[in-house]
């Protein structure tokens, strides 16, 4: 399993075993928030938790890209572990240029 920490900018979340997830554009609209704090897990586990907590996110999820600590991640999301204190950015496709 790959571990992604990135720059830890949320030390309080690190102490509680949580991560901060930031949403943009359609993902933000689906969740209804700019940011949420949830328990650390694999990226797939994080996304599953978001769908469970915010069902409208399910429609946006397949089209999104993800950054952990500002670095794009790709591959098997179940194999990407997000460490406590990390920031995950959820980026749907953007229109325009």
Domain ranges of the chain: 2-91
Instruction: Answer for the pair 21, 46: CB distance below 8 angstroms, yes or no.
Output: yes
Q: Is the pLDDT of residue 9 over 50?
A: no
Question: Could you tell me the pTM of the whole model?
Answer: 0.84
The predicted-structure confidence for 25-77, as pLDDT tens digits, reads as follows: 999 999 999 999 999 999 999 999 999 999 999 999 999 999 999 999 999 99
Domain 2-91, CATH: 3.10.20.30
* C-alpha dist (Å) from residue 97 to 37, 57, 72: 30, 24, 19
Average pLDDT over residues 76-97: 89
HSE value, Cβ hemisphere, 13 Å, CA-based, for 9 = 11
């Amino acid at each position: 399993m790959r571990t992604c920490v990135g720059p830890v900018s949320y030390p309080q979340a690190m102490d509680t075993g949580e991560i901060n997830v930031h949403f943009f554009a359609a993902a933000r609209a689906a969740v209804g928030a700019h940011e949420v704090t949830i328990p650390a897990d694999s990226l797939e586990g994080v996304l599953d938790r978001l769908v469970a907590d915010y069902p409208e996110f399910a429609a946006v999820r397949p089209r999104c890209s993800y950054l952990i600590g500002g670095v794009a991640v790709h591959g098997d999301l179940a194999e990407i572990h997000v460490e406590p204190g990390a920031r995950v950015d959820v980026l749907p496709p953007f229109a325009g240029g």
